[in-house]
Each structure stands twice: as structure tokens, then as C-alpha cells.
């Protein structure tokens, strides 16, 4: 390789924002409905949104109520070759249409039903296409399974870092040791056990992790959201995610009136468990009726948001960063490359340094001052935490709204129109390479999953002839 070629490659690799990323973000922004093109909107400005797999392993070995899986999901055979092939095709299409970097969920039924080699191969296929994968699980698997996924045949790590989202709530049935829990507190030992596996993984093999704790919320357990928040905050989970239940999937498993649980009600319960207000208005992913989140630092039991929506100086920094640096890819790059990216950003925009320093000072002050922050860090009482609520929509609402959207019709009915607005701003996308389309997750689960799983049942029957 000539020196000129090497320098050209280096320049491209360390360029803060590539033309491809910029184009993907601009497309995403243009696709958003006008009502979400707000100053705090992150879609189309620094992210294209999250992605997920579908039709790759629909089977699950728990029986939950509610259950978002279509009625045929558990009649489809787990087939590793099918999973890896479909994940690869879906990720390749996402790479082509949504740019070189995004977060994507390896999701379907229960991911740990995949053989470890197939699970690992799917994650590698996602990473090969610039996706940061997160394996979605009920968490009821052993440490050896995790090792078999993360380590190769020689015992060497396949990954420097893994992400898992574990779903724990008292509506789930069939977990080993907690077949039919009556309270959320009964699941705390299982939450601890799951998270501890990843602590051991880092200590024994140097593999870092990002862990999310998911919980479905219905009228029967909404009163326990506060206690779950309080308990899980002291566990090594990075994200606490709550989903008010929606009428999606197998109707036989709908037992309650889920409409009684609103996004505001869930958020207030989370704040109750955190023991403080959790400001979220400074940033937004998609439609605020669908998603709410805040990220910050928890110092000795007190959560400090990165951005305070009531502080004009914080919002000014947000606006400046999004305008100048939205689209900089930080994940999946080496430390030297990341350092060069940051240096090039600062050299071209030196005026951003004082506002960033001011933001850092305000955050430190909110944490109690530098001395208290350092002392808490030494005592291991500092952790980055994210709180999230995803508010999915009922299938009966999505179906008619999507049918009209497919015809290019904006409904005159206020409720249908609201659903159309939320679908248009969806931050969670499924890839359909066969049709060349990207589909909102609520449409996938409400409209497409039943037919897709019926087809998979024929393609991958539980019983193979001749066996």
C-alpha cells in the first residue's frame, strides 16, 4: 500500500462524520412527520433509530400473560441455519438503507434456545454490518451457555463487549425456580443471578457488557414498578426499561384491561422508586407518546441527568452538539481512531470547548462536587444509568391506521390519525429485504407476525419427516 493510499484511508477512517452517515441521517429526518421535528429530537440528527430482527427464531419456552408472540410462534422449529441466514440478510439490507451504524436487537422468541454457536454467528453477522447487537432474553439460562456464546472453541473471547436485555416480571410463567411468581420481589434473586454472570464474565475473561432490565407493566403489577426500580438500581444493570402492556399477539393470553396503564403513570412510578424526579424532556427519540428516556450518572444513590431540561445552558450545548457533531460514530471504533475523530472535531470547532467544559462543571456540581464524585467513584458508588419507557400500541389500533397509510390516506378520525402519527415517527424498525421495505415494529407485531409465523410453521415444522 502506498503512503498516499494509507493517508487517504486514515483520513476517511478518522473523519468525524462521513458522507454516508450524513446522507442516512438526512433521509431519516426527511421521513419524520413534522410534529416530531423538535429541538430535542435525536432521530435524524444523531441516530437513525433502533432496529430488530423478525422471523428468525419465534419460539419461546415460557408462557406469559400477556404474550406478544403470534399464536403460531411456538409451533416453529428453532433452526440455527435459518436464523443466521435471515439475520444476515436483514442486517445487510439495514446496512444498505440506514447507514453504517445503528443499534439492533437480536429478537424473536427466546434467544437462548439457539445453539451457542448459532447465537454467536448471528451476533457476528450483525457486527459485520455495523450493528451493535443486543440479545433479547428472559434470562433463564446458565453461565456455561453465556460462555459458549462469548468464547470460541479455544476459550478465547469472540467479542470485546456484549449486550443483553433480560425480561423479568411476575406475569411470566415457567422460569426455573419461579414457575408462577406472585410478586415482583420474588424475582429479585433471579435478576441478581443474571446480572452476576456478566460481572463474572468480565472478571474471568475481560469481556465487558451492557445490560438492560425489561419489565412489562399491567394493572396487576404497576403498583410494584417503584419497588422494582428501587431494587434493580442497586444491581449491575445499565438500563431500566418498562413497557406498558399492549394488546398484541396471542389473544388467548390477554387477561387484563391494559389501557389503564399509561406512559405517565409508569414514569411516575419509576420516579417513586428512584426517590426523585427524572427529567426526560431534554432529548427525545421519535414520538413522546411512544418513548420516554433519560440518561445520567447515579452517585451514591442520587441520579444526575446529563442534560437538565430546565437549564438553558444545557439545552444550548445540546443544540450546538446536534448541529455540529450529530452523526459522529463513536461505537465500534478503536481508541486511537476515536481519539483522532474527537481531535479533528475540536480543531474544526474550537468554540464548542468552553460550553462543553461548562456542561461538565454543572454535572460535577450536581453530583455534589468533584471531591464527593471522586470519593463515590473510589467506593464504587458511581454508575451510568438510563431509564426508558416504550409505549407500544394495540393491534386493533395499528391495523386500520396502517391500512390507510399503505393507501397514502391521512385519517380524519383523531384516534386513527394519532396512531398514524406515532407509526410515522417510530424509532424501532424491522427490515424486509424481500420487499425492500422498513416496517415499524408495532406494524410487524400487530399486522405481519401472524402470517409470517404461519408460513414459518410450514417451513420449519416442529417435527421433521423421517425423524
Do 385 and 213 contact (CB within 8 A), yes or no? no
* CA-closest candidate to residue 330, choices 17, 11, 12: 17
Q: What is the pLDDT of residue 464?
A: 62
| pLDDT of res. 314 | 98
User: What is the pLDDT, as a whole number, of residue 10?
Assistant: 78
Of the candidates 69, 100, 67, 106, the one whose C-alpha atom is nearest the C-alpha of residue 84 is 106
Contact 16, 344 (CB under 8 A): yes
* φ/ψ of residue 162, rounded to 5: -130, 155
The dihedral built from the CA positions of residue 49, 140, 110 and 91, taken in this order, carries a sign that is positive
CATH 3.20.20 assigned to domain 48-309+383-459? The reply is yes
Q: How big is the chain, counted in residues?
A: 467
pLDDT along the chain (467 residues), means of 10: 77 84 95 97 96 96 81 90 98 96 96 98 97 98 98 97 97 95 97 98 98 96 97 98 87 68 96 98 98 97 97 97 86 82 87 94 96 94 97 94 97 97 97 97 94 93 69
Over residues 8-49, the pLDDT tens digits come to: 777 888 888 888 999 999 999 999 999 999 999 999 999 999
pLDDT at 249: 72
Say what the pLDDT of residue 465 is.
Answer: 60
Task: Look up the pTM and report it.
Answer: 0.94
- The pLDDT of residue 73 is 84
Which of 50, 380, 432 is CA-nearest to residue 212?
Answer: 50
Q: In this structure, what DSSP letter does residue 259 have?
A: G
The pLDDT of residue 260 is 77
* Rounded Cα–Cα distance for residues 95 and 131 (Å): 8
- Using alpha carbons only, how large is the chain's radius of gyration in Å? 22
What pLDDT score was predicted for residue 462? 86
Closest CA to 441 of 13, 32, 49: 49
Question: What pLDDT does residue 184 have?
Answer: 98
Question: What are the domain boundaries of the chain?
Answer: 48-309+383-459
| Strand ordering across the sheet containing 208-217 | 302-305, 291-299, 382-390, 239-244, 208-217, 161-167, 131-137, 102-106, 50-52, 428-432, 437-440
Q: In 3D, which of 54, 175, 34 has the Cα closest to residue 107?
A: 54
Q: What pLDDT was estimated at residue 362? A: 97
Instruction: From 134, 139, 195, select the one nearest 164 (Cα to Cα).
Output: 134
Amino acid at each position: 500500500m502506498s503512503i498516499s493510499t494509507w493517508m487517504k484511508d486514515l483520513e476517511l477512517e478518522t473523519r468525524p462524520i462521513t458522507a454516508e452517515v450524513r446522507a442516512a441521517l438526512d433521509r431519516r429526518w426527511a421521513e419524520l412527520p413534522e410534529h416530531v421535528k423538535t429541538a430535542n429530537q435525536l432521530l435524524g440528527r444523531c441516530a437513525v433509530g433502533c432496529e430488530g430482527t423478525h422471523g428468525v427464531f419465534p419460539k419461546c419456552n415460557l408462557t406469559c400473560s400477556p404474550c406478544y408472540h403470534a399464536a403460531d410462534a411456538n409451533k416453529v422449529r428453532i433452526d440455527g441455519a435459518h436464523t443466521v441466514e435471515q439475520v444476515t440478510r436483514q442486517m445487510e439490507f439495514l446496512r444498505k438503507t440506514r447507514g453504517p451504524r445503528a443499534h439492533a436487537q437480536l429478537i424473536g422468541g427466546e434467544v437462548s434456545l439457539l445453539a451457542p454457536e448459532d447465537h454467536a454467528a448471528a451476533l457476528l453477522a450483525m457486527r459485520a454490518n455495523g450493528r451493535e447487537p443486543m440479545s433479547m432474553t428472559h434470562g433463564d439460562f446458565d453461565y456455561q451457555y453465556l460462555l459458549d456464546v462469548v468464547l470460541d472453541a479455544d476459550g478465547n473471547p469472540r467479542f470485546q463487549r456484549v449486550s443483553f436485555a433480560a425480561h423479568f416480571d411476575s406475569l411470566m410463567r415457567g422460569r426455573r425456580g419461579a414457575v408462577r411468581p406472585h410478586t415482583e420481589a420474588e424475582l429479585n434473586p433471579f435478576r441478581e443471578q443474571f446480572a452476576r454472570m456478566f460481572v463474572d464474565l468480565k472478571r474471568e475473561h475481560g469481556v465487558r457488557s451492557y445490560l438492560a432490565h425489561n419489565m412489562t407493566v399491567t394493572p396487576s403489577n404497576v403498583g410494584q414498578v417503584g419497588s422494582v426500580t428501587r431494587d434493580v438500581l442497586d444491581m449491575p444493570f445499565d438500563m431500566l426499561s418498562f413497557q406498558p402492556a399492549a394488546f398484541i399477539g396471542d389473544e388467548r393470553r390477554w387477561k387484563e384491561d391494559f389501557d389503564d396503564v399509561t406512559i405517565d403513570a409508569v414514569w411516575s412510578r419509576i420516579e417513586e422508586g428512584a426517590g426523585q424526579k427524572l427529567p426526560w424532556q431534554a432529548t427525545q427519540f421519535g414520538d413522546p407518546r411512544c418513548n420516554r428516556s433519560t440518561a445520567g450518572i447515579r452517585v451514591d444513590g442520587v441520579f444526575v441527568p446529563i442534560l437538565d431540561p430546565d437549564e438553558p445552558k444545557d439545552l444550548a450545548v445540546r443544540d450546538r452538539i446536534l448541529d455540529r457533531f450529530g452523526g459522529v460514530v463513536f461505537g465500534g471504533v478503536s481508541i486511537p481512531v476515536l481519539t483522532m475523530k474527537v481531535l479533528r472535531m475540536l480543531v474544526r470547532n474550537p468554540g464548542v470547548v468552553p460550553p462543553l467544559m461548562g456542561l461538565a462543571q454543572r454535572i460535577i456540581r450536581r453530583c455534589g462536587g468533584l471531591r464527593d464524585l471522586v470519593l463515590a467513584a473510589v467506593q464504587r458508588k458511581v454508575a451510568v444509568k438510563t431509564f426508558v419507557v416504550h409505549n407500544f400500541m394495540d393491534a386493533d389500533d395499528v391495523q386500520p391506521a396502517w391500512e390507510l397509510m399503505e393507501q397514502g390516506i391521512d385519517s380524519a378520525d383523531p384516534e386513527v390519525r394519532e396512531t398514524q402519527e406515532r407509526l410515522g415517527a417510530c424509532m424501532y424498525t424491522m427490515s424486509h429485504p424481500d420487499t425492500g421495505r422498513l416496517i415499524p415494529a408495532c406494524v410487524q407485531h400487530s399486522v405481519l407476525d401472524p402470517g409470517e409465523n404461519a408460513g414459518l410453521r410450514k417451513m420449519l415444522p416442529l417435527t421433521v419427516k423421517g425423524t
